[in-house]
Amino acid sequence: MGDTTGDRGDRLTMEQTDKHAREYLVEAYGLKKWFPVQRGFVENLVTRQKEFVRAVDGVDIRIRRGEVFGLAGESGSGKTTTGRLLIRLIEPTEGRILFDGRDLTALSRGEMRRLRQRMQVVFQDPYASLNPRMRIGNAIGHALKIHHLAGEREKRERVLDMMEKVGLTPAEAIYRKYPHQVSGGQRQRIVLARALIMHPDLVIADEPIAMADV
């Protein structure tokens, strides 16, 4: 006996869901992040009602595979917070975040750690995001090391290649330097190289060229 109408409908629904999951890499629905207002001890005694800063309040986002997606807004409008939420660097107050069809809010820390090989972030402030005691070559290749993706020789080759691609030249000379020995623009390129060396599916870039030497 052939498929019933109900069976065909179920199959179509599953196919549509699979197609949707393949089309969108990142999805967020009803995303919220509220931060509690910090008050003094006496004020807390007088005012029992909690107050919140609604940094992100009900955002829906869908990003296709290979798409360049930009967020624009005034300073303090929640752009950075939204980016951090999308890769669960901070926990949402409410809402769902899907990455390649997987609900990030339901994953354990271990599962998130493994998945973060496919998602990287370029922070706005390269001064704060680099370890001052780590040489530049080691900083760029650190993720390859902790995820056991390359031996020491291969790591060095991949790091030098990526340094060339982002304009950190001469790569051999910069490789062994420390962050304080290079310019602010070069530090921004270091952070960019560190993110791209993993060949991630998703890069969250928070004003990535604000300090670049362009």
- The alpha-helical segments, DSSP class H, found in 24-151 are 41-46, 79-86, 109-115, 126-129, 136-146
Res. 2 pLDDT band, cuts 50 70 90: very low
Alpha-carbon distance 94 to 57, whole Å? 9
The residue among 121, 146, 142 whose CA lies nearest residue 208 is 121
Predicted TM-score of the model (pTM): 0.77
Alpha-carbon distance 31 to 56, whole Å? 7
pLDDT at position 12 over 50: no
- Yes or no: say if 184 and 191 are a contact pair by the CB < 8 Å rule: no
Q: Which tokens go with 52?
A: 């919140």
Q: Which tokens go with 161?
A: 């290649």
The 10s digit of each residue's pLDDT in 87-143 is 999 999 999 999 999 999 999 999 998 898 899 999 888 888 899 999 999 999 999
- Going from the N-terminus, what domains does the chain have, and what CATH number goes with each? 10-106 (3.40.50.300), 116-213 (3.40.50.300)
The 10s digit of each residue's pLDDT in 40-64 is 655 655 666 778 889 999 999 999 9
